[in-house]
Structure 1
Amino acid sequence: MIKRLWGKPDKPSKQSAEPASTDNIPQHVAIIMDGNGRWAKNRGLPRVAGHHSGMKAVKRVTMAADRLGVKYLTLYAFSTENWKRPKAEVDYLMKLPQEFLEIELAELVQNNVQVRMMGYSQQLPSHTLQAVEEAVRQTAGNTGLVLNFALNYGSRMEMLEAVKQIADEVRNGQMSVEDIDENAMSSRLLTGGLPDPDLLIRTSGEIRLSNFMLWQLAYSEMWFTDVYWPEFTEEHFHEAIKEYQRRARRYGGL
């Protein structure tokens, strides 16, 4: 029997940390979900067990973000570089979106969550793509939290494709060189229509971007934690939000 992951929120701990204020909640939070394999290894489990436990963290954080009023949550689920991993692990990772959405899609619809995907669909197995496309279709009319999965996504490829598109449009006379500006570039990225992330969270103690939203994160606040993704709780999410609220965003000004 597959256990439902959405359901009721986990019982808060006695040391549950609430955000400092609801007046300055980041509109868009992006998360590099890292540490599944190491979490499993530390417990003598296969790496795939860590990926499965990571699904529960997806549920926890999605619910936490929705309750706080975050409008966009982008989760780095699978990168264009992750195909280099062992085939058995890749095959398992490609089954997770199908399993997660099969279990949770009805709850996502009920909670007014809109599912989106950004990435390159050509390489994805048909069962993975069909599950994601069905979730996107069924939630297209929802007006609440946008849950955006970065699946087979790589920022350098994204920017190269945007540059190629602009070059083609200039060559075909659809735009001039003078029309090329930040808005022209941003609108041709896979995040076109979404605001840039206000806050980036990365778990597992690694302090790098790993080819994730390199253009969009130019002025994002960043928060890193040693906690592995399967262990990431609503309280950790609140901690990141509180740190974001303590910072002053100047965008190069004073």
Structure 2
Amino acid sequence: MDDDGLLYRVYERRLTKELEAYQLPQHLGVIVDGNRRWAKAAGETTEHGHRVGAAKIVEFLSWCEDLRIPLVTVWMLSTDNMRRPPEELVALYEIIASTVEEIVEAGYCVRLTGNAEALPEDVRAGIARTQERAAPDSPLTVNVAIGYGGREEIVDAVRELVLDLGGQGKPPEQIAAEVSVGSIADHLYTRGQPDPDLIIRTSGEQRLSGFLLWQSVHSEYWFCETYWPGFRRVDLLRALRDFCRRERRYGA
């Protein structure tokens, strides 16, 4: 190991030790952005960038497991992404399905977060079969956000709530009275889970792009210049250190 590598390891160990004094996020969201730009800068194909980025997701989850973060939501494909060229989407669907399989094989519980109906039937069926093999008692649950859009999630939640209440024979006035923050939350894709404490976005973009719009009302954000395929464990540790040093007042 060269001197730079040794210094990196020392710094990484110091950050890890520092975090032992803090309560780490119980739900971490990550927007894995920059695969295509990383590939272009490296002189590689877009597909290669997506494959390297997918491999990074599995590595990232192992870091989260080591740090005992129990819940991670990874945004792999947005509703906006689904307007990309067909040849790119074909490759993306295959990469996503393979990645979900690798996540399950790593021993993690997988939960699909998004509109599964927006995916091609064979992709949807393959992911569903893979999910059935996931460990239900894993120390790490991974929400894989595929075909996900924050506005679409809220619309789906309200629509499902109204259909549930209407199916009970309730009149419009009573349905309207029962629409609340709690009742909508109970119909989100992430129902039953805590909201994200921290959301990380890579590639230098400083926006949410619709990621967990409802759930992120009190989330902290951390933006990183690094493209997702180049994201390192030390970058995660820095994000967590920054999060732990913040004072979260929730508007009070």
Could you tell me the TM-score, scaled by structure 1's length? 0.87
Q: CA RMSD in A?
A: 2.0
Do the aligned partners of 2:104 and 2:135 also contact (CA within 8 Å) in 1? no
Distance 1:99 1:210, change over 3 A: same
The alpha carbon displacement at 1:57 in A equals 1.3
Do the aligned partners of 2:55 and 2:99 also contact (CA within 8 Å) in 1? no
The alpha carbon displacement at 1:116 in A equals 1.0
Distance 1:18 1:97, change over 3 A: same
Distance 1:137 1:13, change over 3 A: same
What is the match of residue 48 of structure 2?
49
Match for 1:62: what amino acid? L
The alpha carbon displacement at 1:136 in A equals 1.7
Q: Residue by residue, what CA displacement relative to the aligned partner does 1:109-143 show, whole Å, maximum 9, x if unpaired? A: 3xxx2111111112312342233212321115223
CA–CA separation in structure 1 for the residues paired with 2:205 and 2:199: 13
Distance 1:83 1:29, change over 3 A: same
The alpha carbon displacement at 1:46 in A equals 1.2
Distance 1:136 1:103, change over 3 A: closer
SS in 2 for 1:166: helix
Q: Count residues with an aligned counterpart.
A: 239
What is the match of residue 21 of structure 1?
19
Do the aligned partners of 1:101 and 1:131 also contact (CA within 8 Å) in 2? no
1:162 aligns with one of 157, 161, 179: 157
1:213-252 matches, within 5 Å, as: 213-252=212-251
Distance 1:19 1:79, change over 3 A: farther
Q: Does 1:125 align with 2:120?
A: yes
- In structure 2, runs of 5+ residues without a counterpart are 1-5
- In structure 1, runs of 5+ residues without a counterpart are 1-10
CA–CA separation in structure 2 for the residues paired with 1:18 and 1:222: 20
CA–CA separation in structure 1 for the residues paired with 2:141 and 2:103: 15
Do the aligned partners of 2:200 and 2:223 also contact (CA within 8 Å) in 1? yes
1:46-195 matches, within 5 Å, as: 46-103=45-102, 105-106=104-105, 108-109=106-107, 113-171=108-166, 172-173=169-170, 176-195=175-194
Q: Residue by residue, what CA displacement relative to the aligned partner does 1:75-122 show, whole Å, maximum 9, x if unpaired? A: 00001111111111111110012222445533x23xxx2111111112
CA–CA separation in structure 2 for the residues paired with 1:57 and 1:205: 17
Match for 2:194: what amino acid? P
* Structure with the bigger percentage of helix: 2
CA–CA separation in structure 2 for the residues paired with 1:241 and 1:102: 27
Distance 1:248 1:54, change over 3 A: same
Show structure 1 runs of 4+ deviating over 6 A: none
Distance 1:83 1:101, change over 3 A: closer
Distance 1:169 1:130, change over 3 A: closer
Percent identity (aligned): 32
Could you tell me the TM-score, scaled by structure 2's length? 0.88
